[in-house]
């Protein structure tokens, strides 16, 4: 089974959204088949086979997640992050301002779905297969 230390090592290489597809591939190699990340403090729950789960602690001080979701604003912020224009922490702050409560990654479907505080999906996207190894991800 995978460990929190292995996940932290893979996550430490994520600088922007450009690195996200490589991160997902690394998690799959560890045996992770999905995870949920909560915008409020960045903690995640990772799921493996045979009902194995492991939870990370908070990554940052609590953020106030907006009660009202703004899908258009979120899409712009997500695009900027995926283009490498913002780092992970900035993306989390912007997600909270847009009302994103959590995101759920499903490796079997290769999707990432973002949810508002009421549990409604705001956006679902397909996770691309890494085109090339980004220089910020692999030394």
Assigned domain for 30 exists = yes
Assigned domain for 132 exists = no
Assigned domain for 25 exists = yes
How many Cβ atoms sit within 10 Å of the Cβ of residue 75? Answer: 15
Q: Mind listing the pLDDT tens digit for each residue in 34-62?
A: 999 999 999 999 999 999 999 999 999 99
User: Domain span at residue 29?
Assistant: 4-125
Determine the distance from the C-alpha atom of residue 50 to the mean position of all C-alpha atoms in its chain, rounded to a whole number.
23
Assigned domain for 72 exists = yes
DSSP character at residue 70: -
Assigned domain for 120 exists = yes
Which residues neighbour 135 within 8 Å (Cβ) at sequence distance 6 or greater?
A: none
Q: How many domains does the chain have?
A: 1
pTM, full prediction: 0.87
Single out the residue of 91, 122, 106 nearest to residue 114, CA to CA: 122
Taking 90 as the threshold, does the pLDDT of residue 16 lie above it?
no
Q: What is the CATH number of the domain that holds 85?
A: 3.30.1810.10
């Amino acid at each position: 089974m995978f460990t929190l230390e292995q996940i932290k090592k893979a996550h430490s290489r994520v600088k922007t959204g450009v690195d996200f597809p490589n991160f997902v591939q690394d998690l799959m190699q560890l045996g992770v088949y999905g995870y949920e990340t909560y915008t409020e403090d960045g903690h995640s729950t990772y799921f493996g086979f045979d009902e194995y789960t492991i939870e990370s602690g908070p990554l940052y001080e609590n953020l106030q997640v907006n009660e009202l979701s703004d899908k258009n604003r979120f899409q712009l912020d997500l695009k900027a992050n995926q283009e490498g224009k913002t780092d992970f922490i900035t993306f989390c702050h912007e997600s909270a301002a847009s009302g994103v409560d959590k995101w759920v990654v499903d490796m079997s479907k290769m999707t990432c779905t973002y949810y508002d505080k009421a549990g409604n999906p705001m956006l679902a996207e397909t996770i691309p297969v890494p085109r090339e190894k980004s220089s910020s991800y692999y030394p």
